[in-house]
Structure 1
């Protein structure tokens, strides 16, 4: 293993020279990077956000590091509508960022996900529905979700 990979095994990092990883190690490398899209521009430049590098499986920890590194910029994001973060990363990473910010409290189990929001709304959602259909997980019209 390379020195860079060994560093990543200790946790997510902000500065990684990807060129120093070998081919097999690069397959495990993931990143949280905010990129500008044409239809979402409700906050500053996407290049202002720090990129976080992590190994596959460390999404929750990487999201917490992302929030710590970018807290000031995140204060300007309107999370009540589609935003630059939501369109820049996988939904599972975005969910953990919301968790780290205190916008949602997540507990993921094998078959269900429990989610509590600051307004005390609670959701119980089928885990497969939560992971595979993020745009349809918050509905009580189907059998896969319940709200209290």
Structure 2
């Protein structure tokens, strides 16, 4: 494996961001440092690939058009198909548990009606494409919730 040219380690990393050199000419005249910094900035913004960005002028978001039923202590999921930076949950009048990870410890966020709307938007974005939800206890009354996910 060479250290320069289109088959170098750096070019293999950069090719995952669609900014790798395809020829010796490109590799010699393009700054590896600048392209590595661009890859780092894309990673920090939550964009792994240049081709992943939307070509449309339309904003990327998802909203439940109808309230989602929360009627069981069994975990249910909602998938919106893109990495959201911000997620807001509202419309529930009974306690619910929500999470942005399917498994693991310390992942469920208990929410009561007084905490609605609940919005999560950490620096750099949440970077999640799914929400899992369930009733807090078996004796809890059925409720519904609504979700807004923004890229």
Q: Return the TM-score normalized by structure 1.
A: 0.26
Larger radius of gyration: 2
- Larger RCO: Structure 1 or Structure 2 (Cα < 8 Å, ≥ 6 residues apart)? 2
- Structure with the largest fraction of strand: 2
* TM-score, scaled relative to structure 2: 0.26
